[in-house]
Structure 1
Amino acid sequence: MRTEFTPEQEAFRREVAEWLEEQLSGPFAAIRNLSSMSGEISKRLEWEKALGKAGYSAIAWPKEYGGRSATIAEQVIFAEEYARAGAPGRIGHLGVTMAGPTFIYFGTEEQKQQFLPPILSGDVLWAQGFSEPNAGSDLSNIRTKARLEEGPNGPEWVIEGQKIWTSLAQYAQWIFVLARTEEGSQGSKGISFLLVPIDQPGVELRPIKQMTGGAEFNETFFDGARTAAANIVGKPGEGWKVAMGLLSHERGASSLGIQMSFQTELQKVIDAANANGAAQDPLIRDRIARAHSGLKLMRYNALRTLSKGDNEMLSREAFIHKIYWGTWHKKLGELAMDVVGAPGLIAPTQDYAFDDLANIYLYTRSETIHGGTNQIQRNIISERGLGLPREPRG
């Protein structure tokens, strides 16, 4: 029994653990411990609907919008048990942990009624249209534009531009897009937060194949894509404020499950080190200990972020989260390869599918780049978190 949780909270833990075990040992056994975000798509879509039906899809949402109004402790418990059970990564997480909370705090009642129920039920998936080829980590430099025009059914936003690294967009029905809606605007000014249907002639997706063999990311092109004028969160020009609110959710509760998956990966590294004798090396043992302590610090910072309860802006604790976990995970990948040694360089199958530890190393090479490079994260921390003078720009 964990002394930091009440009997009621431990009862909730047992409820969650029992349901997950029943599902992942039965109808969803095929996706248990699934490491790829793009495998077994049909089952993963069914999984999203099963979570919704059982009331576990979005426990942090307020009850009036279909959630459980879960406390921080309950969110922590669910994230821990979800990862401990080997449940798959959420293919609908962008809707549940980012789009949905953004609609709740910034959206109109009409938007909440239209968009929240299908997210909750798992019937509609969302993609994120933030990064661009020339502004991947610096969102204030985006160039995608949108203008209002009269359409056959009333005023519509017409979007022109390109986004990149749009995760799982090939399975989504909607995408939230940051676009410039004020001609000549620069920086964080003049940006709006638009909601755009993907299945239309003006949207083209091009998958990007990764060195792990999957294709979770896409290039997304907008060539006259249209969406109703009402599909804007906040007022025109308030997109930056809405985006910062959205990122506070990405770097809060939703990170706890990621950390539990990191714990599972760390245990795989430890098991491999014990099996092949690498654990006898004092330098390897020291790096494993540092990885363990670093993961604990990551968890405590996420809890500290959650305890702030501010859903409209990033707390100072949240500013450091991305650079910390990206750097930590990259080091874990390097440790995994040093534990495995030369055999880790050989793909065991003809289709060059590497094992879990090698894939940790390959995948983590991207994590100090995607979602904001470490260099940009340091600028954000200094300028927005600490209020230091902005870096000189040409």
Structure 2
Amino acid sequence: MDLTYSPTDEAFRAEVRAFLEDHLAGEFKGLKGLGGPGRDHEALPERLAWNRHLAREGWTAVGWPVEHGGRGLSLWQQVIFHEEYARADAPGRVNHLGEELLGPTLLAFGTPAQQARFLPPIVAVEELWAQGYSEPNAGSDLANVQTRARLSEDGSQWVLDGQKVWTSNAHFSQWLFVVARSEPGSQRHQGLSFLLVPIDQPGVEVRPIEQLTGGSEFNEVFLTDARTDADLIVGEPGRGWGVAMGLLGLERGVSTLGQVVGFARELDALIALARATGVWDDAVLRDRMLHSRVELEALRSFALRTLSLVGNGEDSAAGGGAGSIFKLAWAGWHRRLGELAMDVVGTGGLLADAAPYELSTWQRLFLFSRADTIYGGSDEVQRNILAERVLGLPREPRG
């Protein structure tokens, strides 16, 4: 596999780098580094303004087809954009679920009418989306979804009842994409539908969940006689599982390379702290930090190889297992980095920076990274995917 970039790609890298240097200035200069993992609550209105500025300048949905408002960038140019965005320490984007997940899903499965209605507001960052997948008894086991959807008597609307949990961004989004059971008596993957539901209505109640990091990225969402138009179903009724899995496959796309760059920034900062405090002289801790560096380089190479295989049609999120392997690898690495950070900080990491609960960067990293092996598909689920779908081993017994 050739991991070198062409002169055209390097020229594009210079263009992205120059844009971010010029525009992360003035009113946006103070946003650098804000809104990362565990810090989604930071400067939300200002980050939304920055996202809309990116949209006006043509830097949202960069991989989408031009006819749908994107830039039509190649796979490697998308990688370059996400890497440079992370290197510039640009703020966390508030439109990730719409731009990186739902939008491409509508491009693949949506009707022309759905694409015309929803894609332009996503590109312009005028409508934000939340993900309504997990439930109290259907988290990693998504096929156990119990939220119900039925057509109204006149057939004009879907009516939804149920509860979603760990719903990212629901507290500031306008729309929710929901997996619901639309065929009574159906079980597991059968009888599910993928629906687009407006949040601002009497039948939708959003309750933020306060996390250990102090923010409330996640929410409980209660659906009680909630309604959406009958044509706002993506794919065929009862066949929403394929749509839902297609969306989850996109979750591990090119933006993960920017994630790896962000990890490198965290590791660099931790090494700098260790040098400044003298912890670097501890041979055991120094070895762990250097080992983390080597692992991170291997992660990046594996991610590039994975994307290359997907781009050539040789792999998929489930088929070849590369997506699951990468999720296991980066989640474990980042969780270990959080533990290493606490060892570098020492006993001072046991106390909050200030009352009542002001956390340091390293405390927040440690606490948030505990969730890395759970969200986006838990380690157990990824291992089952690899065992059952890739290696052909017997299915895990289900009680």
Common fold: TM-score over 0.5: yes
Structure 1 stretches of 4+ with a deviation exceeding 6 A read: none
Please state how far the C-alpha of 1:319 moved relative to its aligned partner: 2.0
DSSP 3-state at the match of 2:221: strand
Determine the C-alpha separation between the residues in 2 that align with 1:105 and 1:297.
32
Q: CA deviation at 1:7?
A: 2.0
- Residue of structure 2 equivalent to 1:56: 59
Residue number in structure 2 paired with 1:14: 14
Native 8 Å contact 1:191 1:239 kept in 2:
yes
Q: Distance in 1 between matches of 2:180 and 2:276?
A: 52
| C-alpha distance 237-5 of structure 1, shift in aligned 2 (>3 A) | same
* 1:157 alignment partner, SS class: strand
2:185 match: 184
- Distance between the aligned counterparts of 2:323 and 2:193, measured in 1? 23
Verify the 8 A CA contact 1:233 1:239 in the aligned structure 2: yes
SS in 2 for 1:175: strand
CA change 1:52–1:117 in 2 (3 A) is same
TM-superposed deviation, 1:22: 1.7
Number of residues of Structure 1 aligned to a counterpart in Structure 2:
391
Q: TM-score, normalised by structure 1?
A: 0.95
Q: Please say which of residues 282-291 and 127-136 is displaced more in the overlay.
A: 282-291
Residue 173, structure 1, aligned to residue 178, structure 2: no
Structure 1 residues 1-394: aligned runs within 5 Å: 4-34=4-34, 35=36, 36-150=39-153, 155-307=156-308, 308-309=310-311, 310=313, 314-315=318-319, 316-394=321-399
Q: Which runs of 5+ in 2 are unaligned?
A: none
Indicate the SS of the match to 2:392.
coil
Deviation (angstroms), 1:175: 0.7
Do the aligned residues in 2 keep the contact of 1:59 with 1:70 (CA within 8 Å)?
Answer: yes
Under a length normalisation based on structure 2, what TM-score does the superposition of the two structures give? 0.94
Amino acid at match of 1:280: D
* Separation of aligned partners in 2, 1:148 and 1:155: 7
More displaced, 28-37 or 232-241?
Answer: 28-37
For residues 82-121 of structure 1, give each alpha carbon's deviation from its aligned partner in whole angstroms, at most 9, with x where no partner exists: 0111111111100000000000011111111000000000
AA partner of residue 128 (structure 1): Q
Aligned-residue offset at 1:188: 1.0
Task: Return closer, same or farther for 1:167/1:160 CA change in 2, 3 Å cut-off.
Answer: same
Alpha-carbon shift at residue 289 of structure 1 (Å):
2.1
Question: For residues 181 and 306 of structure 2, what CA distance do their matches in structure 1 show?
Answer: 30
Write the letter of the residue equivalent to 1:269: L
State the distance in 2 between where 1:366 and 1:313 align: 21
SS state of the match for residue 291, structure 1? helix
Point out the more displaced range, 217-226 or 33-42. 33-42
Moved more, 351-360 or 295-304: 295-304
Tell me by how many angstroms 1:125 deviates. 0.6
Which stretches in structure 1 are left out of the alignment for 5+ residues? Answer: none
Question: C-alpha distance in 1, partners of 2:78/2:317?
Answer: 20
